[in-house]
Amino acid sequence: MALERFKRCEELFGDEEFAKIQKAKIIILGVGGVGSYVLDCLYRSGISDITIVDYDHYDITNQNRQIGSEALGELKTTRLKELYPNIRTITQKIDIAWVESFDFSPYALIIDACDTTKVKIELAKKEYKKLIMSVGSAKRFDASKIEVASIWKTHGDALASKIRTELKKAKFDRNFTVVFSGEAARCKEKGSFVGVTGSFGLMICSEAIKKILANK
């Protein structure tokens, strides 16, 4: 029997499927406006083995969209460990060297919610089979435009287009899951709205649960 806090999840999924969800091992790269909501959703859904990777401190501009951002100046990993005590944390800059050297083999799924294009491309090349990637959640406010597709079927997003172009140059043609928005960008700067960034995170969480349950 699940802990009482997860009773509603267990009732939804049933004993066998909920047991699969609880046993899943997931890593989230980047816990900002998208990644923090992925974390919250997975944690509330009963997944007990979650690792987060980030190296940023909260600043006041994070407070419109990031869980934990009231703790100004604090490391995101430190604050989120306080809010979600059972998670594992890695305080680390997510760069190409780290992606190349890190052992992702223990994880069932890798959630890419980081911001660096070159890192996202390297991660896709290395771990496409386990990957759910977030692109283009900023500069938009219509959550109904969020979609899930193969990287090759994304549209309306400059970051996804850049990733596709670079992967083609590298002669990489494998599929991996991307959460994106087809809504046209509403501004040129770093404008953001939690109704979209948070919805990206929840959509990624839903996709993660579906992949866990589909895995035989």
User: pLDDT (tens digit, 9 = 90+) per residue, 153-195?
Assistant: 999 999 999 999 999 999 999 999 999 999 999 998 889 999 9
Res. 2: pLDDT tops 60: no
The CATH number covering residue 85 comes to 3.40.50.720
Q: What domain count does the chain have? A: 1
Domain that holds residue 103: 4-214
Cβ atoms 69, 32 nearer than 8 A: no
Burial class (CB in 10 A: 0-12, 13-18, 19+), 71: middle
What is the model's pLDDT at position 1?
A: 46
Q: Which residue, among 47, 37, 33, has the nearest Cα to 86 in the 3D structure?
A: 47
Gap between the Cα atoms of 58 and 48, Å rounded: 25
Could you report the per-residue pLDDT of 57-99, keeping only the tens digit for each? 999 999 999 999 999 999 999 999 999 999 999 999 999 999 9
pTM of the model: 0.96
The helix (H) or strand (E) run that includes residue 208 is helix 194-214
Residue 162 phi/psi, 5-degree rounding, is: -60, -45
Could you report the per-residue pLDDT of 113-162, keeping only the tens digit for each? 999 999 999 999 999 999 999 998 999 999 999 999 999 999 999 999 99
Res. 206: pLDDT tops 90: yes
What is the model's pLDDT at position 77?
A: 98
- Is the dihedral angle over the CA atoms 78, 84, 86, 92 positive or is it negative? negative
Res. 3: pLDDT tops 90: no
What is the model's pLDDT at position 193?
A: 97
